[in-house]
Structure 1
Amino acid sequence: MSQSAPPPQPPQSGPVDGSPYAKDEPAGAPYPPQPGAFAPAPAPVAPARNNLVVGLVAALGAAVLAAALYGVVIGVTKHEIGYAAVGVGFVIGLAAGKAGGRNPVLPIAAIVLALASVYFGQLVGEAMIGAKATGLSFTQVFFDHFSVVQKAWKADSDPLTFLFFALAGFAAFSATRKAAH
């Protein structure tokens, strides 16, 4: 007599040894899940790193917004505020580093954009102050009398003004490097 072997059976996924949790676990798992345990969240997708164009575009957008906000702060308070200049540099550097990654050009570009942003922010502030003093609109003062705005900026500049430039550049460089890691 020949004996035939029973056909192979698929692994069972139902309760084993009466455990109510075994049915949720695939067959072959070494231990049933613990009560109240959750599956780990999937890892977030990492952004593209070392992307110069994306970093420059993000930094440029941040520079335009930061210049406008910095100018409004100066126009409203009629004073330059050092922390605001540092914030301008920080925001630009953060945008460049987060969006562009570790590209070595980005920290330098962030410095240049931070300096330009602080300068234009100060010009916007001067134009706001000039508009209040003359009764003209901001756009008339800023666009039609831009040379007068620049002369007013030069007249109001002091060593502290240039310290704010340096602080903004340093903050932009540091934030770019730290955000990229």
Structure 2
Amino acid sequence: MTQPPQPPQPQPQEGNPYAQDKPATDQPQPGYGYPQQQPGQPPQQQYSPFPQQQGPGGFAPAPPASSGGGNPALGILAGVVAALILAWAYGAIMKATEHEIGYAAIGVGFVVGLVVGKVGGRNAVLPVLAAVISLAAVYLGQITGIAMYLGDMANISFVTALTDHFSSINSAWKEAADFKEYAFIVVGAFAAFGSAKKAAS
């Protein structure tokens, strides 16, 4: 009995009897979410949701330096000018009322600190200097008030009384000042310290 002819079997490739022919593709298979690249074209840059910015040398640019603003030297100068004006005003109030006003020392300190902080900006030394300037302003204001009062009595200007009779005026201020007066002066210095820090923030 004659056997039917058998179909031709595929020839093994490179000694592997189980290898089968695979369809050749000229184009690479595109990946998920990326466009297909055509042959002969430069590779396309993959999409990234984060922007890539590079500065000189391939590194990311440095963030801009933050500045506290203000001018410390100008802040001190502005505080001294404000202290002189406030000292004269304080002295004029003392002359008009004919007695010392302790609460005015707190107002002087607050205004001096506000001016120093606004003009000088953030600086660790400025609040301390504002407190010192406030102490000097309150002292000079009280001395000026006594000089104005004595100048009216002697019929001379308060500048003449202050320059020619400073030792006598200073002695009178020491005799008139009590613990409460000193306490107001210290509180005024603390007010200058706090307002300078708050104004610069």
Which residue matches 2:174?
Answer: 154
* Cα separation, 2, equivalents of 1:48 and 1:57: 18
Q: What TM-score do you get using the length of structure 1 for normalisation?
A: 0.70
More helix by share: 1
Q: Counterparts in 2 of 1:131-146, with a 5 A limit? A: 131-146=151-166
Which residue matches 1:165?
Answer: 185
Q: CA deviation at 1:48?
A: 6.9
3-state secondary structure, aligned to 2:188: helix
Q: Counterparts in 2 of 1:69-88, with a 5 A limit? A: 69-88=89-108
Q: Is the 8 A contact 2:102 2:185 kept in 1?
A: no
User: Which residue identity does 2:107 align to in structure 1?
Assistant: G
Deviation track 1:66-111 (CA, whole Å, cap 9, x = no partner) reads 1111111111111221231111001100001100111011000000
3-state secondary structure, aligned to 1:49: coil
Q: Is the 8 A contact 1:64 1:117 kept in 2?
A: yes
2:76 counterpart of 1:59: no
Task: Find 1:125's aligned residue among 139, 145, 157.
Answer: 145
Which residue matches 2:28?
Answer: none
Which residue matches 1:27?
Answer: none
Which residue matches 2:4?
Answer: none
Which residue matches 1:98?
Answer: 118
Which residue matches 2:195?
Answer: 175
User: Which residue identity does 1:59 align to in structure 2?
Assistant: G
Structure of greater Rg: 2
User: Which contiguous aligned blocks of 4+ residues in structure 1 show a shift greater than 2 angstroms?
Assistant: 132-137
Deviation track 1:120-140 (CA, whole Å, cap 9, x = no partner) reads 000001111212233333222
User: Which residue identity does 2:96 align to in structure 1?
Assistant: V
* Runs of at least 5 residues in structure 2 that lack an aligned partner in the other structure: 1-66
Moved more, 109-118 or 71-80: 71-80
* Cα separation, 2, equivalents of 1:149 and 1:175: 31
3-state secondary structure, aligned to 2:123: coil
Q: CA deviation at 1:178?
A: 0.6
3-state secondary structure, aligned to 1:102: coil
* Runs of at least 5 residues in structure 1 that lack an aligned partner in the other structure: 1-46
Q: % of aligned pairs identical?
A: 45
User: Which residue identity does 1:133 align to in structure 2?
Assistant: M
